[in-house]
């Protein structure tokens, strides 16, 4: 098949692919094909418009008898737009079917540049069919989107899904065409970060929206509050919240309950973020929460307001069944405050912590499960992701549980067995050397963790580098020794994990005979961990112990630097 030159058109062919769609209760099966633009345009016009006869009659009959062949128009612009009549002919063949239109413009027009008249003509040819638009996906300069959806007032009774992907977003823009889109339920607009604007997005038909995604489009937090308040059916929401004008949230705004909101993703933009946004909502159905901090700039020193008090209040107020929680680049979370928050979420099954500058030994100690504990923390936890540079632990306050080191492998093994395991299964399939504590020499001393400004825990090292200097702390020295050991080789690693497996079996047999194998938590089925956080060497190292657990069935992904 020829590669497209200036663009390509994609069609949906019934019966030729695995995907399915329905219209008026009838299933349509279709797949997409890409046609070479120059040859297709020539043949399309000739065969579609010619008089019946020979092969041309076959093309004409197909086009008239199969409108589902034309309802899905996907077009990519490489250099310039083709003649508008081609798209008019194409869309006319779809009869009365709802239209799914995708336009990808990669012609490298500068942001904010006026739309050329020839391209305006192309966009205008879509307007006569606007009452049949069902899905509209526009990946193009904002000037094109503005021309199509702001300049014109359109009646869009069938429009359900609107995807906008402009490289930038102009201020003071109202998409007036959406004033008459009563069926709109999915609005997704993602752009690079744009300046604050009170009227960046105008969605008057928000009462039917179930999915709202506004990323990179920065409004006052109070504007986002008003937008969410107008969406009582909202189920999925993604927002970018700037720390500018955060005081506007304290201007007497009432509490809003969104009974159907199940998934919430917040991006805090700026040095301080805006976690106060959580204080304005009650979310009884919240199941997934993701919070990310974007300080805007590599040299920007984050001073993020601790979101845990606001999250704790939200959880207590909402009484929701939160089962998935993810923090990305959220510094300044004290372990004690974090523990209090986790105690309020016993339903949590998946926890992800990426670049959160937590004190790892204390965190492992908090999450480890004691045998017979009647009130274990996070009893439903089955998946943990912990990705962090160990030399960037700029945690707040003193570490807890000092002098009681708990390694990553200790924590993982404590959550490997569940209450339903039989003694036979435990003796045959599980093993760990729990009586062997990791030597305290493998951990940084309390003095080194006391907040000394020169400590390597406060060094600003990116996750990609994972590098150390000669004057790193004892933890850094231990890491270098581990990397120099031959146990890093696959053969030695396998041997160490096998020896750990044998030792673990002996310890398990002793524990089972003493009747201390009772657990009140779910298995930790999945663990994603930074390799630099693993301590020890040889068969007693974290790495060897985790590999032994992996051989027993735990899904373990050790992320080492490239």
Lowest mean per-residue pLDDT among 39-43, 290-294, 304-308, 425-429:
425-429
> What confidence score (pLDDT) does residue 359 get?
86
Per-residue confidence at 50, pLDDT binned at 50, 70, 90? Answer: very low
CA–CA separation, 530 vs 389, rounded Å? 8
More confident residue, 299 or 423: 299
- C-alpha separations of 226 from 37, 90, 231, 280 in Å: 46, 41, 9, 11
Are residues 493 and 547 in contact, defined by beta-carbon separation less than 8 angstroms?
A: yes
- What pLDDT digit, counting tens, does each position of 114-173 carry? 555 556 677 788 888 999 999 999 988 777 887 788 767 788 999 999 998 887 666 556
Q: Mean pLDDT, to the nearest integer, of 239-250?
A: 70
Helices (H), 150-220: none
pLDDT above 70: residue 47: no
> What confidence score (pLDDT) does residue 30 get?
44
CA–CA separation, 257 vs 74, rounded Å? 39
CA–CA separation, 81 vs 92, rounded Å? 19
Structure-token pair, residue 461: 């090292």
pLDDT above 50: residue 52: no
pLDDT above 60: residue 532: yes
* DSSP notation for 71-128: SEEEEEESSS---HHHHHHHHHTTTTS-EEEEEEE-S-PPTTPPPPHHHHHHHHTTGG
Highest average pLDDT, of 28-42, 65-79, 281-295, comes from: 281-295
Per-residue confidence at 204, pLDDT binned at 50, 70, 90? Answer: low
395 within a domain of the structure (yes/no): yes
> What confidence score (pLDDT) does residue 386 get?
95
Are residues 486 and 492 in contact, defined by beta-carbon separation less than 8 angstroms?
A: yes
464 within a domain of the structure (yes/no): no
pLDDT above 70: residue 519: no
pLDDT above 90: residue 288: yes
Lowest mean per-residue pLDDT among 92-96, 283-287, 400-404:
400-404
Q: Mean pLDDT, to the nearest integer, of 401-413?
A: 74
Q: How many domains does the chain have?
A: 1
CA 232 to chain centre: 23
CA–CA separation, 193 vs 217, rounded Å? 6
Closest to 145 (Cα-Cα) out of 118, 111, 179: 111
Closest to 303 (Cα-Cα) out of 329, 325, 337: 329
More confident residue, 453 or 546: 546
The three-class DSSP label of residue 70 is: coil
- What pLDDT digit, counting tens, does each position of 451-506 carry? 333 333 333 333 333 333 333 333 344 444 444 444 445 555 555 555 555 555 54
User: What are the backbone angles phi and psi of residue 460, rounded to the nearest 5°?
Assistant: -90, 90
Per-residue confidence at 203, pLDDT binned at 50, 70, 90? Answer: low
pLDDT above 50: residue 26: no
The three-class DSSP label of residue 342 is: helix
Domain that holds residue 416: 335-346+360-373+391-438+473-508+519-562
CA–CA separation, 144 vs 188, rounded Å? 17
Instruction: Check the CA dihedral 417-423-428-432 and report its sign.
Output: positive
Q: Strand (E) positions, 447-554?
A: 526-530
Lowest mean per-residue pLDDT among 32-36, 155-159, 333-337, 542-546:
32-36
Highest average pLDDT, of 148-152, 219-223, 253-257, 423-427, comes from: 253-257
The three-class DSSP label of residue 240 is: strand
39 within a domain of the structure (yes/no): no
365 within a domain of the structure (yes/no): yes
145 within a domain of the structure (yes/no): no
Rg, the chain, Cα only: 29
Structure-token pair, residue 469: 């200097």
pLDDT above 70: residue 225: yes
pLDDT above 70: residue 277: yes
535 within a domain of the structure (yes/no): yes
């Amino acid at each position: 098949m020829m590669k497209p030159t200036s663009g390509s058109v994609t069609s949906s062919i019934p019966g030729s692919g695995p995907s399915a769609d329905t219209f008026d209760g009838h299933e349509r099966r279709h797949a997409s094909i890409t046609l070479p633009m120059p040859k297709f345009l020539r043949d399309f016009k000739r065969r579609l418009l010619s008089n019946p006869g020979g092969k041309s009659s076959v093309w004409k009959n197909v086009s008239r008898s199969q409108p589902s062949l034309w309802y899905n128009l996907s077009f990519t612009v490489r250099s310039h737009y083709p003649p508008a009549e081609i798209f008019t002919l194409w869309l006319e063949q779809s009869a009365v079917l709802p239209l799914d239109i995708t336009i990808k413009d990669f012609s490298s027009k500068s942001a904010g540049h006026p739309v050329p008249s020839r391209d305006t003509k192309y966009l205008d040819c879509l307007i006569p069919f606007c009452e049949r638009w069902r899905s509209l996906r526009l990946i193009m300069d904002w000037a094109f989107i503005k021309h199509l959806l702001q300049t014109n007032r359109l009646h869009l009774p069938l429009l359900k899904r609107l995807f906008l992907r402009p490289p930038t977003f102009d201020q003071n823009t109202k998409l007036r065409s959406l004033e008459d889109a009563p069926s709109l339920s999915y609005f997704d607009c993602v752009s690079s970060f744009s300046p604050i604007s009170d009227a960046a997005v105008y969605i008057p038909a928000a009462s039917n929206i179930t999915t709202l995604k506004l990323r990179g489009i920065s409004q006052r937090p109070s504007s986002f509050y008003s937008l969410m308040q107008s969406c009582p059916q909202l189920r999925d929401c993604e927002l970018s919240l700037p720390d500018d004008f955060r005081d506007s949230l304290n201007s007497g705004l009432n509490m809003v309950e969104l009974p159907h909101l199940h998934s919430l993703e917040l991006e805090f933009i700026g040095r301080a973020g805006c976690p106060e946004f959580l204080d304005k909502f009650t979310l009884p159905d919240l199941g997934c929460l993701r919070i990310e901090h974007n300080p805007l700039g590599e040299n920007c020193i984050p001073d993020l307001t601790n979101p845990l008090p606001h999250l704790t209040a939200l959880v207590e107020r909402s009484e929701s069944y939160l089962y998935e929680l993810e923090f990305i680049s959220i510094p300044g979370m004290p372990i004690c405050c974090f523990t209090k928050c986790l105690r309020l979420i016993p339903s949590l099954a998946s926890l992800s912590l990426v670049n959160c500058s937590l004190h790892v030994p204390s965190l492992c100690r908090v999450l480890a499960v004691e045998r017979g504990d009647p009130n274990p923390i996070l009893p439903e936890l089955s998946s943990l992701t912990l990705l962090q540079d160990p030399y960037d632990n700029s945690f707040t306050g003193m570490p807890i549980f000092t002098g009681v080191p708990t390694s990553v492998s200790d924590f993982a093994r404590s959550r490997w067995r569940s209450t339903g395991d039989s003694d036979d299964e435990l003796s045959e399939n599980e093993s760990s050397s729990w009586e062997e504590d990791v030597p305290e020499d493998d951990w940084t001393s309390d003095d080194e963790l006391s907040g000394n400004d020169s400590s390597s825990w406060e060094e600003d090292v990116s996750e990609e580098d994972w590098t150390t200097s000669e004057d790193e702390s004892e933890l850094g020295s231990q890491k270098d020794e581990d990397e120099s050991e031959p146990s890093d080789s696959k053969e030695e690693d396998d041997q160490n994990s096998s020896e750990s497996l044998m030792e673990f079996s002996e310890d398990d047999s002793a524990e089972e005979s003493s009747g201390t194998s009772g657990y009140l938590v779910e298995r930790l089925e999945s663990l994603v961990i930074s390799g630099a956080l693993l301590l020890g060497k040889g068969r007693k190292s974290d790495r060897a112990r985790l590999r032994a657990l992996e051989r027993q069935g735990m899904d373990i992904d050790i992320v080492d630097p490239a």
